[in-house]
């Protein structure tokens, strides 16, 4: 007899800029038939206008925390770790409530950064070596979080989607 899951699954795609997170999120959302919560920073005025402060990131984190209170399986394009590492890296400022937000995540999927740079107005690390160094901080943050996570290496999108689906099935 199949077992019915009683709580919704909340899966967060995370990783440094230029890792293919948004592309994977769209394809994975389609494959799973789950709603996708897009990356809030992409449409936030303070971010898009280049005047981001730690207070803006704290506000975005509060939005993520609120969105994590879902009643159905949901996929998130980025989440609390991205915002916290952004604040720590740029301003040496820790955001409040990151751990509480992480505790509502059932699985993090870490996308390894892509070696080929794709320019984007919101990106600031064109050197692959810099992105790899930051990626190591993501691994440390995920390990510290105590939450389940899986790493998705650089590969074609279809392979990443398949591996992500397998990781989600294993953590169901």
Residue 165: which of 30, 18, 5, 20 has the closest Cα? Answer: 30
Tokens of 68: 């994590």
Is the predicted pLDDT of residue 4 greater than 60, yes or no? no
Q: How far apart are CA 150 and CA 164, in angstroms?
A: 8
Does residue 81 form part of some domain?
yes
pLDDT value at residue 1: 46
Does residue 123 form part of some domain?
yes
Is the predicted pLDDT of residue 51 greater than 70, yes or no? yes
Does residue 98 form part of some domain?
yes
Is the predicted pLDDT of residue 6 greater than 70, yes or no? no
pLDDT value at residue 5: 56
Does residue 3 form part of some domain?
no
Does residue 83 form part of some domain?
yes
Supply the DSSP string of the chain, one letter for each residue: -PPPPSS--EEEEE-STTS-HHHHHHHHHHHHT--EE--GGGG-HHHHTT---HHHHHHHHHHHHHHT--SS-EEEES-HHHHHHHHHHHHS-PPTTHHHHHTT-SEEEEEPPPSS----TT----SHHHHHHHHHHHHHHHHHHTS-EEEE-S--HHHHHHHHHHHHHHT-
**What's the domain count of the chain?**
1
67-122 confidence digits (pLDDT tens): 999 989 999 999 999 999 999 999 999 999 999 999 999 999 999 999 999 999 88
Taking residues 27-49, report their average pLDDT: 96
What is the pLDDT confidence band of residue 160, given thresholds at 50, 70 and 90?
very high
Check which CATH number belongs to the domain holding 164 and give it. Answer: 3.40.50.300
Does residue 2 form part of some domain?
no
Taking residues 132-138, report their average pLDDT: 97
Question: pLDDT above 70 covers what percent of the chain?
Answer: 96
**What average pLDDT does the chain have?**
94
Does residue 152 form part of some domain?
yes
pLDDT value at residue 2: 53
pTM assigned to the model: 0.94
What is the pLDDT confidence band of residue 7, given thresholds at 50, 70 and 90?
confident
Domain range holding 102? 10-170
Does residue 125 form part of some domain?
yes
């Amino acid at each position: 007899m199949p077992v019915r899951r009683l709580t919704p699954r909340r899966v967060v795609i995370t990783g440094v800029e230029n890792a293919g997170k948004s592309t994977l999120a769209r394809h994975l959302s389609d494959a799973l038939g789950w709603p996708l919560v897009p990356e809030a920073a992409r449409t936030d005025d303070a971010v898009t206008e280049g005047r981001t402060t730690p207070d803006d990131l704290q506000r975005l984190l509060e939005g993520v925390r609120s969105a994590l209170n879902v009643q159905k399986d949901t996929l998130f394009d980025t989440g609390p770790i991205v915002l916290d590492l952004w604040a720590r890296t740029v301003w040496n400022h820790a955001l409040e409530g990151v751990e509480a937000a992480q505790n509502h995540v059932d699985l993090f999927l870490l996308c390894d950064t892509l070696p080929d740079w794709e320019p984007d107005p919101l990106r600031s690390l064109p050197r692959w070596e810099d992105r790899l160094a930051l990626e190591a901080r993501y691994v440390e943050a995920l390990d510290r979080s105590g939450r389940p996570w899986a790493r998705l290496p650089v590969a074609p999108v279809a392979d990443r989607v398949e591996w992500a689906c397998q990781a989600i099935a294993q953590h169901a």
